[in-house]
Structure 1
């Protein structure tokens, strides 16, 4: 009876995914190389204007890290036609909201306005691209903002340096070896000429995609896009350097002391392939299988049943060139980090040896089908997905078809990918521990 109920509920869920509305879009290029994607959806009287630039922390000099994230802030300072401090006022006074974010691979800006303010959104993003004012007062102001962000989100946050330490040990040659927020010393040493040069190189139409999503008239939108973006000069052709990493063949060991913690953490991290690959998606499945919720294998076994850990988990850190698969655990009193690592390894060996059950496999399918539906339920999410799939994956239609890749993954692939990437000699073992107090004299 239980099996029948499960099959019925699965069929209902799959039917919902199968009937999920396809995201319709139109794409074209302006003469200056700007790629444009339009998605019309009149369900709500709002419109998103967004621009994603193909620049992230991996595009920085190793002696000037943090530039891309700095520009996420700096390009709100103002333009030739938007006075300093006026950007946020214009948006809010017209009933809109806006924000930006930066990763290793791209920088994303967006506004959400009532649909009758589409022209305003397009004008503002064209101003950011064509007429940014980059001066010393803006640089000095944002320098303090970024420093405060680093203090609050990383330096003073318990376990706030995990990603930093993992990256600098996992990557030896690739710019992924530093964090997106970068080095404050590098930003302090940067001249105004450095900032202007970085802007001129990367924040150009032929290194970006413009997405308009929501309730708008296509014909009118195209006219405004040509009016505001068509006159922007094409930038110099970008030839991005490719960085290769040698495979990890021997366990990397590292230790980091964090003055903000009292409980040590064990971290095991594996370097993984580009998020565009099929193997990376299989690793997504493995991560969810091991630690997605309290019913996952690691949590149920190590936290609930054996009570060896306060917390246990894993996640994939997806990137354009390489990724990371990171597992972590906080030992319960009376247990050690080595105890947790042995338990984690035992669960990985099970995946490498035996096929996961049909029930667990179907659970994974349900998780990713649900994520697929949720990611495309609002125009904000759709706008970002359209930009991401074009700029980083090279295939906009993945917004509709990526779920088919996940649906095609097999239990056999899960076993083989685990055997391929998740071996003890292919990883970093990080002892993330409290600061050891100096002996009193």
Structure 2
């Protein structure tokens, strides 16, 4: 059994990651359109193009990490050496040089691309690290629960402090305020990455032939049918999630017409997400992870869709629906990541090849594809419904914001639930796979 301090140390890595990830999810589109002056249509195109470019590198990063042999392990070195570049480029992405209109678009495109690439270089190995801390299925859920509670602490820092710090540091200059706010958060994030590196240990150690062609890894990966199920689910999951979170600020500012409540709205959402993550471990001990995950996605879809019928003046109902959606949606998140580790074991059991980095990175490829589609859809939907930055919106634009925040993301969760009906690695099956791998001597879970 892993010590609590190691689970917390691992979780701090996602606190650091989410300081950037949640800032991108919640504020970057708004920053680009309302602070830096880019058009929503261009922002939608950029989100799609950059995230697709970035996503293509994910499986290559995973295959590369699988081949690393060092005194620090396969995955921890990337956290150590990637922390500082991650912090520096995060600040660059929220810097607004006084360029021409074309220059601004080029600068945004380049810095956002660099941000996503360095995020890949750190986050792919970080995610894979969670699959080699322990082979115990229950401990894996526990590790992921700690991880995502810590992740949402990072999100909570972003949601509760970003706008107040922007006002404090900027003193009326929001561009300067965003830059200095991200600088402070990046310094904090670098420190947390270093604590994550120092406080964790890789226990499942598998030798991999460094000269084995990458195509052999891809072949073994494709034979893993449960990986394919998770990958498809990831696209639908993140498309809906990113669309809803990107539109959230617009929903509060322009549909509810409560711009001063933006921080409170997203902060309460983060707190609800944390509570949901805390539920994951006790839920997994009582209910099959697969059934629990499907049920939570359907509940999230119901609360998301319900908000469509909440009037703009029913403020507390709007808050309650958003909190309920966050609770259900993110109670399912640790279960999903624990299932990724199970899919790694399944692939090894089926093919004889263990590709931890490849499984995690390729699923993250589809997560980022969902990020790309959801982020692009947000920009295009805003543009299509006639959104104009920082003015009174037309009724058509308000309805478009409402639709993009409620019914459209709900469809994503319903599709996830349907896809996960084909996922076969329930509690009983995972136990059988582990027993077989241990008999073969292929599950090298070392003590300590």
- TM-score, scaled relative to structure 2: 0.27
Higher strand share: 1
- TM-score, scaled relative to structure 1: 0.27
Higher helix share: 2
* Structure with more contact order per residue of length (Cα contacts < 8 Å, sep ≥ 6): 2
